[in-house]
Amino acid sequence: MSPDNSAVPGDGVPAWEQMMRAMLGDGADDAIRELQSRGFDPAAMAAASGLPDDPAALQQVVAQVQALLSASGDEPVNWQMAHDLARQQAAAGGDPSLTAQQSKQVLDALAVAELWLDAATELPPSTGTPHAWSRAEWVEATLPTWRTLTEPVASSLSSALVSALGGSLPLGLDDSEVPGLDAGNLLRQLGSAVFGMQVGQAAGTLAHDVFGTTDIGLPLLDQPTPALVAANVDAFAEGLDAPADEVRLFLALREAAATRLFTHVPWLRSHLLSTVETYARGITIDVDQLEEAVSSIDPTDAAALQQALSGGVFAPHTTPEQVAALERLETALALVEGWVDEVASNAALPHLPHTMALREMIRRRRAAGGPAEQTFANLVGLELRPRRLRDAAALWAQIARDNGAAARDAVWDHPDLLPGTEDLDDPSGYAARRATAVDDAAEVDRALAEILGEEPGEQA
């Protein structure tokens, strides 16, 4: 005898009815009446779909459906789901609270790093309070920035899902069969859940990989402050020839240097994030590829949707605006990483015997990429990899040799002063090109002053 899915022992509510109420909420009664009036038997449909007759198993399924379709308003990402999954991923394999000794080791390293950096850069220390974090604490602190980075492309994906799958809903869930059911909204909620899963998995994966708040080149805190994930620093130090204390100090120097940069160059964070947003908003979804990816799956199965979409549905072509944004982003990321690489290494050299080996190891780690870059590439469709880190570090070193560390750091005074790809190609010619640009700007100022009847520089 086949299992009877029409009722659940103990509560008297049919399994299929519990499922429909979980999915449709207040619209379930109208949907059930409409199905019955058209000759459909919900109990038979439930039996055919394989709904479990075990009360505990059914409750688990209902809870999953309710979580997937929990109200997310107009947001393209289910952020509650993203948060919960990120915490789960971060805790995978264990994520105990830091001991007093671990916290002291990290905070002492960050304090020493600030002292050493004073001799290597004109930029003063960050005013933020340094932190020693567990992986879960890193997730909590950085998740708000993931919203800024991922929502533009999530919006595009949500619209594409409605367009591609609107006609693929199972019988009984299409709004043409059930008046009052908004199939488009149902798909948008599913899309929100799918992207919530992806963001949560990405952030949770990164929590096992990052050392601090600036590892991917972007500042992940609204207010920059130095922080290290103690467990990841210790794991990285295991098996290296350098002592763990030396590795921790070197990573603290990089984190503190990057934090100084983002603190005292106020336009830099918004410049990077807005460039990412410009690129992401230009992403188009290949609807044909999307339809092919999901044609054989149940559109109400968020896990299957996630697996299908993780294969990549971003159109291979890019707009001229995206090409320009990507070039700006890659150059800016290289300049940030190159400056941090140069300044942190200069600060470490007098104190850490393994400075050059550690510097090369970090360079190769960033160039090779890893879970950090791949998870973000799946989310936004681009890789945050500083492909020209070595060129940028050479450029900053050249500027310091020519005019001193103060001149090197002064380049960050305004975005218009930033070196471009030509400067990365030819660091030795940067000074001459900059001088020519300054002369041209001065000539323009003089011409404007004559036209406006002002003293040169007055119009500025």
Domain boundaries, the chain: 15-68, 79-380, 426-460
Maximum average pLDDT range among 11-15, 40-44, 149-153, 325-329: 325-329
What is the pTM for the complete model shown? 0.76
Maximum average pLDDT range among 116-120, 150-154, 172-176, 272-276: 116-120
Kindly report, residue by residue over 293-317, the tens digit of the pLDDT: 656 666 556 566 666 655 555 554 5
Report residue 121's pLDDT band, with 50, 70 and 90 as the boundaries: very high
The answer to whether the CB of 68 falls within 8 A of the CB of 200 is no
pLDDT of 234 higher than 90: yes
Summarize the confidence of residues 382-386 as an average pLDDT: 69
Summarize the confidence of residues 390-413 as an average pLDDT: 93
Percent of the residues in the chain that have a pLDDT greater than 70, as a whole number: 60
Summarize the confidence of residues 332-347 as an average pLDDT: 95
Report residue 231's pLDDT band, with 50, 70 and 90 as the boundaries: very high
The CA-atom distances, in angstroms, between 338 and each of 203, 250, 328 are 25, 15, 15
